Amino acid sequence: MGEKTRIHRLAERGVTDRRQINQILDEGLVCHAAYVIDDRPVVIPTLYVRNGDHLLLHGSNSSGLVRAVGDRSPLSVGVTHIDGLVVARSGFHSSANYRSVVVHGRGRILAGEEHRKALDVIVETLIPGRLSDIRHPTEAETKQTSVIELSLDEVSAKVRSGGPADDPADLTSDAWAGVVPFSLVAGEAEPAEDLRDGIPIPDYLQPYQL
């Protein structure tokens, strides 16, 4: 583990197993990407996918994220799943159950065939099965959309699970204690208003697997 990825507080919650880190990443859709532009830090929420040992982010060529990465800004990306609210017998011990990953590095803007393939990987990872149902992107669409590849070389992860860790003296309290679990669940697919008649919802969307 490098200095950048060293967790200081509650380090025992740190996870170094790459398979577990990949699982956390694969369960997510949205990351928060932090970069520096015009001497100020910015955090932007955006979609991502994991492709082997890299994350792929995409965006318009004119977006701040793409411009900053093109200018070699350092990049840090966070992914968080909140699994529950931990309701302890004191405010101090109240907490959240979570799984989170932080990646550090410098993104690389893909070009040529790598760029075209990465766009397909993004679509097919976000909606597995989709590529065979839709047209190829046009040259203009491909040119407008940059893909940023970020290596998972410098990565950290942290997980909290379980109930409240109250002080022994608080266990006689009359206050309720426990966990309110959270999960992200996809609803039923809703057809577009302008969808032609007779087109069924594809199997891969019923249900969409997060």
Ligand X SMILES: Cc1cc2nc3c(=O)[nH]c(=O)nc-3n(C[C@H](O)[C@H](O)[C@H](O)COP(=O)(O)OP(=O)(O)OC[C@H]3O[C@@H](n4cnc5c(N)ncnc54)[C@H](O)[C@@H]3O)c2cc1C
| Member of 100, 107, 119, 122 binding ligand X (CB under 6 A) | 100
Least separation in angstroms between residue 100's CB and ligand X is 4
Residue 81 or 130: the one with the smaller Cβ distance to ligand X is 81
Out of 31, 49, 77, 101, name the contact with ligand X by CB under 6 A. Answer: 101
Residue 156 as a binder of ligand X (CB under 6 A): the answer is yes
Q: Is 145 among the residues that bind ligand X (CB under 6 A)? A: no
Residues 119, 207: Cα–Cα separation, whole Å = 24
Q: Is residue 146 a contact point for ligand X (CB under 6 A)?
A: no
Residue 161 is encoded by which pair of tokens? 């699970």
**Cβ–Cβ contacts within 10 Å for residue 193, how many?**
5
Cβ 181 vs Cβ 84: under 8 Å? yes
Q: Which of 24, 56, 152, 157 binds ligand X (CB under 6 A)?
A: 157
Main-chain dihedrals φ then ψ at residue 107, nearest 5 degrees? -75, 160
Identify which range of 3-11, 105-113, 138-146, 190-198 contacts ligand X by CB under 6 A: 3-11
DSSP string of 8-30, one letter each residue: -TTGGGEE--HHHHHHHHHH-SE
Judged by CB under 6 A, does residue 96 bind ligand X? yes
Which of these segments, 28-36, 44-52, 100-108, 188-196, binds ligand X (CB under 6 A)? 100-108
Q: What DSSP string describes 63-94?
A: SHHHHHHHTT--EEEEEEEEEEEEE-SSTTT-
Q: Which is nearer to ligand X, 8 or 196 (CB)?
A: 8
**For residues 130-168, b (16+ Cβ closer than 10 Å) or e, as one string?**
eeeeeeeeeeeeeeebbbbbbebebbbbbbbeeebebee
Task: Please list every residue from 18 through 77 that binds ligand X, using CB under 6 A.
Answer: none
**Which of 8, 19, 135, 196 forms a contact with ligand X (CB under 6 A)?**
8
Binding site for ligand X (CB under 6 A): 4-9, 80, 82, 96, 98, 100-102, 156-158
